[in-house]
Amino acid sequence: MRNFVLILIVALVVLGLSSIFVVTEGKKAIVVQFGKVQKDADGQSVVFEPGLHFKIPLIERIITLDARIQTLDDPSDRFVTAEKKDLIVDSYVKWRIEDFAKYYLSTGGNKIQAEALLKQKVNNGLRSEFGSRTIPQIVSGERSELMDLALKQAAESSDELGIKIVDVRVKQINLPEEISNSIFQRMRAEREAVAREHRSEGREQAEVIRANIDAKVTVMLAEAERNLLETKGQGDAQAAKIYADTYSKSPEFYSFLRSMDAYKESFDSKQDVLVVEPTNDFFKYMKSSAQKN
């Protein structure tokens, strides 16, 4: 009797425990019965919210699915643009499960498979958007339109998977390695041109300044020279006037006086040898002391 009761208790406990299940926040659950997803009266799949729920043990199976926003982030892909140039693009997709039953049926609840299917659809959308635009449009002008359109395209087809695409975003757009070098060349050449322009403009302005000042100085000095000669000339004229005014009072006396000074100045050293005749006026009284008039 005792054993039977014990076994009964244990069996009941186990049965009880297997008929309750807990759904944590951030997850949802669906019930699969005999391979079919359980539906309610309206024909909609039954989705269990977070909390404590009950099920029929052994018959009903619970599939728990992540209800949060997932991120699909794959390594960079290569896309061709309208100009037939290559771009290396790194993008990510934010998605969440919208229709849990459809998702389970189309992917078997396998996230990796779901992401693989999703990636194909999204890449298709991106490829067509990239292929119809030029690089400047992709990098700047129509960057956001591009992402919106890719999202829309992918969203249409992701409904089949029971997935809602929340966001498609381009993280990185880079040019392939081979092209980087030629870009660097171009940047270098452009910088060089700028550098040369600056330097020669600087020299040009310096020349202008120098030429200006040189011209100014030359004119200044020439004017000064002219003034100098003018003034000197004035001085000379004044002096000449003074001389003339006075000397013209008695030109002959001036001539006499000036000659005397000239003689004194010219013959003033022993080097000078004068050969004179005694008939010179100076020797008037040398020959004889008679009175002369």
Partner 1 sequence: MAWNEPGGKNNDPWKNKGSRDQGPPDLDDIFKNLFGKFTKKGGGGGSSGGKGFGNISIGIVVGLLVVVWVISGFYTIREAERGVVLRFGEFNQFVDPGLQWKPTFIDTVIPINVQSIKSMGSKGSMLTEDENVVGVEMELQYRIVEPYKYTFAVTDPEQSLNQAFNSALRYVVGHSTMDNILTSGREVARQQVWQELEAIIEPYDMGMAIVDINFKDARPPNAVRDAFDDAIAAQEDEQRFIREAEAYAREIEPKARGQVNRMAEEAQAYKQRVTLEAQGEVARFGELLPQYVAAPQVTRERLYLEAMEQVYSNTSKIIVDSQGSGNMMYLPLDKILERQNSSTPPQGSRSTLDGLRSDVVTGQNSGNANPPNLRSDSNRLGRTNR
Asked if 92 and 42 count as a contact pair (C-beta separation under 8 A), the reply is no
Considering beta carbons, is residue 9 or 116 the nearer one to partner 1? 9
Task: With CA atoms as reference, report the closest residue to 86 among 77, 74, 78, 95.
Answer: 78
Q: Binding of partner 1 at residue 58 (CB under 8 A)? A: no
Considering beta carbons, is residue 36 or 270 the nearer one to partner 1? 270
Q: Binding of partner 1 at residue 276 (CB under 8 A)? A: yes
Q: Please, what is the Cα angle at 207 between 201 and 213, to 5 degrees? A: 140
Considering beta carbons, is residue 7 or 13 the nearer one to partner 1? 13
Taking CB under 8 A as the criterion, the residue among 113, 180, 182, 255 binding partner 1 is 180
Asked if 164 and 98 count as a contact pair (C-beta separation under 8 A), the reply is yes
DSSP string, 85-140: -EEEEEEEEEEEES-HHHHHHHHTT-HHHHHHHHHHHHHHHHHHHHHTS-HHIIII
Taking CB under 8 A as the criterion, the residue among 37, 105, 117, 139 binding partner 1 is 139
Say how far apart CA 131 and CA 156 lie, in whole Å. Answer: 20
Q: Binding of partner 1 at residue 10 (CB under 8 A)? A: no
Taking CB under 8 A as the criterion, the residue among 113, 172, 182, 255 binding partner 1 is 172
Please give the residues from 95 up to 124 whose contact with partner 1 meets the rule CB under 8 A: none
Considering beta carbons, is residue 35 or 227 the nearer one to partner 1? 227
- Of the listed pieces 38-46, 76-84, 100-108, 253-261, which binds partner 1 according to CB under 8 A? 253-261
